[in-house]
Amino acid sequence: MKRYILLLVIIIVVGLALLTRFMGDDGYKVSGQVLDNQGQGIEGVTFDFGNFGTVKTDQDGKWSKAGIRDKIKVEPIKEGRDFYPNSIEMDEAKDTLYFVEQEGLDDILIWLSLDPDNEGANYEVSASIRKLNGLNETHQLMDTEILVNGLSLQFDNSDDDGVVSLFSYQEGDLRLETEDKATININHPLLGSTEKEIEVPRQVDDLEVDGDIEAWISEELNNLTLNWSATTSELYKVWITLYDEQKELIGDAVTLVDSDSYTFSDTSWLRSYETDQIATYVEFEVFAVNMYRLVGFNKNSGVEISAKEGPTVSNLPHN
């Protein structure tokens, strides 16, 4: 008798499982929107979900598909159109899958900088986003979500023309050591999304100056050349800090070079654009830089991270 009861229980359990699989389980739902370079929806874009059927976007570019039970590749298809990202793999419900026409991202210039501060391994992060064409409202750029190692950047301000939105790192400590990696996530419903991993480069070990700094400042010398030890980085940030005769800071300037030397060919570098003063003293510093271009965005968009510190040379008095 017990054997028959056990068999009956097994049949019921299996039957319920099959019933749930084929009748009671509605699967999961995905939805989103496809937009052009003006932020407007594109009608008639096809999504093919294989055994789960196809859907097309409506006049607002919106689409949705329910009843999906397996891992799928979500790919927008429309003849003569290219989209970013070109596909997304999903295995769970999500209602914010956005695709943007590829040329739309060509109108957005975004740049992130990760620079060491004065607190050892702490890093400061800043980002600027410029609308070149296309998007009609600047506030659309302010909706951009930027994460660095999971820590969120906050909107700071925009310029007088309303075309540049700046972000600054405000919460938590971002601590990175040499050869540590930082993961950058950029997400926006109209601009698409991208992820990039960047590594903190090794510091430059040695920095030497070919020429006399005092003679260059007084224009007795036409050229002043900096030479430094090469690292595995392909780029270097050369920083010049300007001081007046009281050794007070009056400004700075920076240039990016792709070799292990740089020649200052004139003294225009000595003028502070902040105060319009001419520097009496200068300090040179070189940082190794790792730089990556952001796939899908404007070809000039990218992320850069500087080494923690660099050697310096200057004509500042030591006392």
Q: Note the pLDDT tens digit of each residue in 115-134.
A: 887 655 688 888 888 766 55
Give the SS3 label for residue 178. Answer: coil
In three-state secondary structure terms, 148 is strand
DSSP string computed for 57-97 = --TTSEEEEEEE-S-EEE-EE-TT--EESS-EEESS-EEEE
CA–CA separation, 241 and 269 (whole Å): 10
According to the model, what pLDDT value does residue 156 have? 73
User: Is pLDDT above 50 for 136?
Assistant: no
Does residue 287 have a pLDDT over 70?
Answer: yes
- Range in 14-18, 154-158, 198-202, 255-259 with the lowest mean pLDDT: 14-18
Contacts of residue 146, Cβ cutoff 8 Å, sequence gap at least 6: 112, 127, 152, 153, 167, 184, 185, 186, 187
Residue ranges covered by each domain of the chain: 2-103, 106-199, 207-297+309-314
From 120-124, 214-218, 310-314, the region with the lowest mean pLDDT: 120-124
Residue with the bigger pLDDT between 79 and 263: it is 263
* Pairing assessment for the beta strands 261-264 and 312-314 based on DSSP bridges: unpaired
What one-character DSSP code corresponds to residue 4? H
Confidence of residue 23 (pLDDT cuts 50, 70, 90): very low
Least confident of 5-9, 28-32, 39-43, 259-263: 5-9
Please state, in angstroms and rounded to a whole number, the distance separating the CA atoms of residues 266 and 247. Answer: 22
Domain 2-103: CATH superfamily is Carboxypeptidase-like, regulatory domain (2.60.40.1120)
Identify the residue with better confidence: 118 or 286: 286
Rounded Cα gap, residues 121 and 8, in angstroms: 66
Residues above pLDDT 90, as percent of the chain: 31
In percent, the amount of the chain with pLDDT more than 70 equals 76
Task: Evaluate whether 2-103 and 207-297+309-314 have a shared fold.
Answer: yes
Q: Which residues pair with 240 in a beta bridge?
A: 253, 284
pLDDT reading at 24 higher than 50? no
187 or 47, which is more confident: 47
Q: Which CATH architecture has domain 207-297+309-314?
A: Sandwich (2.60)
- The residue written with tokens 């972000």 in the block is 167
Which has the minimum average pLDDT: 22-31, 121-130, 306-315?
A: 22-31
Q: pLDDT tens across 100-110, in order?
A: 776 666 667 88
In this structure, the strands spanning 151-152 and 192-199 are: unpaired
Beta carbons of 103 and 42 less than 8 angstroms apart: no
* SS3 of residue 145 by DSSP: strand
Class of domain 106-199: mainly beta
153 and 141 Cβ atoms separated by less than 8 Å: no
What is d(CA 99, CA 188) in angstroms, rounded to the nearest whole number?
10
Higher-pLDDT residue of 153 and 212 is 212
Mean pLDDT, rounded, of the chain: 81
Q: What per-residue confidence (pLDDT) applies to 21?
A: 46
Contacts 24+ apart (CB under 8 A), 90-94: 90/30, 92/28, 93/28, 93/29, 93/30, 94/30, 94/31, 94/32
Cα separation, 129 vs 257, in Å, equals 23
State how far Cα 287 lies from the chain centre. Answer: 20
Q: Strands 302-306, 181-188: parallel, antiparallel or unpaired by DSSP?
A: unpaired
pLDDT tens-digit series, residues 71-92:
888 889 998 888 877 788 888 8
Average pLDDT of the segment spanning 193-204: 87
